Each structure stands twice: as C-alpha cells, then as structure tokens.
Amino acid sequence: MRPLIGISCCVKPFGIFNTPNHAASDSYVRVVLGPVGGVPVLLPAAGEALVPEILPRLDGLILTGSRSNVWPGHYAGPAHADGTPEDQQRDATTLPLIRAAIQLGVPLLAICRGMQELNVALGGSLDQRIQDLPSRMDHSTPSDQPIPAVRTGKAHGVRLAEEGMLHELAGASLVPVNSLHNQGVQRLAPRLQAMGWAPDGTVEAVRVKDARGFAWGVQWHPEYDWERDRFSRSIFERFGEACIAWSQERYAPRAAE
C-alpha cells in the first residue's frame, strides 16, 4: 500500500456567496501522486481536535504554502498591517499538528507558510514584511505576476549549508529557487537548524535537529517545478522514502502478529 500523505488545507471563500471552503492547491496533490509516491489526504482546518484522530493514520505530512500569514499572537509579534490575510482556523490546526507529528516521528515537509508555521510551532518568531527591513530583498516580487512562468520562476539563489542534507541532494553549494513570500524567519526556533540562506541572510531551509525522522522546511515552492527541476524532485523523493519507511515501521508489528 502506498503511504497516506496529509496535506494541510486553508479556509478560503468560494463562489458568489463567499462560502468558506477547505482547500489546498492541486500542485500538492499532484506531487504526492508523483515523486512522493503516496495517496493524498486533504486535512481540513478543523482545529486541534483533529490531531489525535487523524495523525496516527498518516504516513507523512505536507504543510502547504498560502497567501495567508500566521497570526502574530502565536509568536508575540505586533499586529499585522491592515489587509494582511490571516487564517486562524488553519493556525489552530497546523501548529498542534506540527508538534504532535514531530513528537510521534511522522515525516514532515513544510513549504513556505508551512515553514513559517514550523518555526512558530517550535518557539520561533517571524518578520512580517521582509521587504520593509533594511538591506533585505523583496521576496514577494513575482507573486502578483499574471504570467505563471514568471510568477513561479527562479528568483534568487540559496546558499546551502556545507555537508548538510540539502547540499547532499543538490550536489552544489548554491541553488536557484522561486520566491513568493512576505514573511520569514526572524528568530529561529531552538530546535531548528538552518540549512539554507538567501543572499540577504533570510533563512530559506531548516530541519528539526532532534526529530526522530524526516522533518524539513523550505521557504520556496519545489512543488511548482519538480517535473523539470532535479533538485526539487529529489526533495520530494527523499520525503517519500521517509514516508514509506515510517509506514513499514508502523505496520511491521501487525504483520508479525
């Protein structure tokens, strides 16, 4: 059986009546069916009560990107500027889900907003608008481009930690990535180790140092170009291998019976 991979959903208005819907981009579904080699399971933003019910049934967890931002009350930050999109139902689901997944050992891959959630869940904080800070880049530059190839194209390089796991996958010290975010790591959570940095010093990749298994975060979107980018594909393949191993470990005791 292929591993079951949970995909975090956002709450978004839909249709002429702006009815709240729980949604995740098709790109995450396709990447799970593709290089991850799993079965996608969309996880509604239903709050902390979902965690003990669903997590023991999953073999892996993908925390998706989103236009919304983590509510600053979770890291004692200042209120967002007017008009900043938030999704507190998602926060109420993903933050406890992250902590429980790491404790249990469920493989976890956090992408963009997901990496920010990972940092906040473990005690870190966020810069809310990196582009407004001195000597920092505008990491959101392509996000409003109408041409998909421009919006999701490579925007800057990321310097990878020597002898780190991502460096091993890339076979290089510098990799080009896309960039569609305003927020980013301010104070890195104590349990996280940085694995990559943008030219302005923004943390672009992390891992949980004391995790029982795979627990990585990347600030860019490898799900956009895995079909043509070897490095992006290798991230999902490595995650998929971890999910298969976790699934086999979970079911081994039952098979022995």
Tell me the backbone φ, ψ of residue 19, rounded to 5 degrees.
Answer: -65, 130
Query: Which of the following is catalytic: 9, 117, 223, 243?
Result: 223
Neighbours of 36 (CB within 10 A): 30
Core vs surface per residue 142-169: b (16+ CB within 10 A) or e: bbeeeeeeebbeebbbbbbbeebbbbeb
204 catalytic? Reply is no
CB 126 within 8 A of CB 192: no
221 catalytic? Reply is yes
For residue 108, CA distances in Å to 55, 82, 207 come to 11, 32, 10
For residue 113, CA distances in Å to 154, 213, 241 come to 18, 21, 23
223 catalytic? Reply is yes
Q: Is 192 exposed, middle or buried (CB count within 10 Å of its CB: 0-12, 13-18, 19+)?
A: buried
Query: Which of the following is catalytic: 112, 117, 139, 243?
Result: 112
Query: Which of the following is catalytic: 9, 10, 221, 243?
Result: 221
Q: Kindly list the catalytic residues.
A: 112, 221, 223
